[in-house]
Amino acid sequence: MNIIQVANYEEMSKHAAQYIIEKVRANPYIKLGLATGSTPKRTYQELVKDHRENGTTYQHVQTINLDEYIGLPKTDPNSYHYFMRRHLFDHLDIPSEQIHMPSGTADDLLKECVRYEQLIKEIGGVDLQLLGIGQNGHIGFNEPGTSFKSRTHIVSLAESTRIANSTFFPSLEEVPTRAITVGISTILDSREILLLASGSAKAHALKRLITEGIHEEFPASALKLHSHVTIIADAEALKFV
């Protein structure tokens, strides 16, 4: 794992955006694996700014998101569909049929898992997967204990994850209890992985990632099985390392 330390959230976001922009320019047909959450928000703003100012085009790019809450329609402001549209897709020139996200409202959720996994294969896999990390080490919504062999599946969210994400909801009760997420094996199939972390809330997780061994109780440790992982983290997130 290649670790790039930067000063703060702002620098992490600029650095990450530049990293992604260079990849998109080098390969206009790139398949980008994308994440939601507070971490990539500013990175997405930078991508939008660059698209506006420098004309980087996403006309041929395909995006594949990691996860979605179960039960929230795409129009719900807390759904990841909504988040991605609001923070990124609505502001780029990417055709909507090239945007891929799992549906959290499919009638048959197990079929949806199979569909999503097949779709990733059919489009040729993910070239660059952007990841955040949960305080408990989750990647996507793969909570501690998830098999490293997992493919797209339904998960029960850890209580700590629901609490961490409740800041976006009116109350904890309204945070969904389940989600659909690509699996750890799906993530490891990506040709390259870029993990972002900012702030002291992630310091413990990053210390574990960097210093502990590989085990399923700490999902992010699976990244050590991958040969092309870059971490961009700020000083606060790396303060225990």
Interface positions with ligand PGA (CB under 6 A) = 37-39, 132-134, 138
Residue 25 C-beta: closest distance to ligand PGA, Å: 26
Please tell me which residue in 67, 112, 117, 234 is annotated as part of the active site: 67
Residue 230 C-beta: closest distance to ligand PGA, Å: 16
Question: Which residue number places its CB atom closest to ligand PGA?
Answer: 37
Please tell me which residue in 87, 143, 165, 234 is annotated as part of the active site: 143
Residue 121 C-beta: closest distance to ligand PGA, Å: 24
CA–CA separation, 25 and 167 (whole Å): 35
Residue 2 C-beta: closest distance to ligand PGA, Å: 20
Q: Is 27 a catalytic residue?
A: no
User: Given the DSSP bridges, would you call strands 178-181 and 153-156 parallel, antiparallel or unpaired?
Assistant: antiparallel
Q: Is 67 a catalytic residue?
A: yes
Q: Is 143 a catalytic residue?
A: yes
Nearer to ligand PGA, 99 or 133 (CB): 133
Nearer to ligand PGA, 56 or 206 (CB): 206
3-state secondary structure the chain: CEEEEECCHHHHHHHHHHHHHHHHHHCCCCEEEECCCHHHHHHHHHHHHHHHHHCCCCCCCEEEECEEECCCCCCCCCCHHHHHHHHCHHHCCCCHHHEECCCCCCCCHHHHHHHHHHHHHHCCCCCEEEECCCCCCCECCECCCCCCCCCCEEEECCHHHHHHHHHHCCCHHHCCCEEEECCHHHHHCCCEEEEEECCHHHHHHHHHHHHCCCCCCCHHHHHHHCCCEEEEEECCCCCCC
Nearer to ligand PGA, 37 or 183 (CB): 37
Residue 39 C-beta: closest distance to ligand PGA, Å: 3
Integer CA distances (angstroms), 187 to 83, 85, 130, 225, in order: 21, 22, 10, 11
Please state the φ and ψ torsions of residue 98, each to the nearest 5 degrees: -100, 5
Nearer to ligand PGA, 39 or 62 (CB): 39
Active site residues: 67, 136, 138, 143
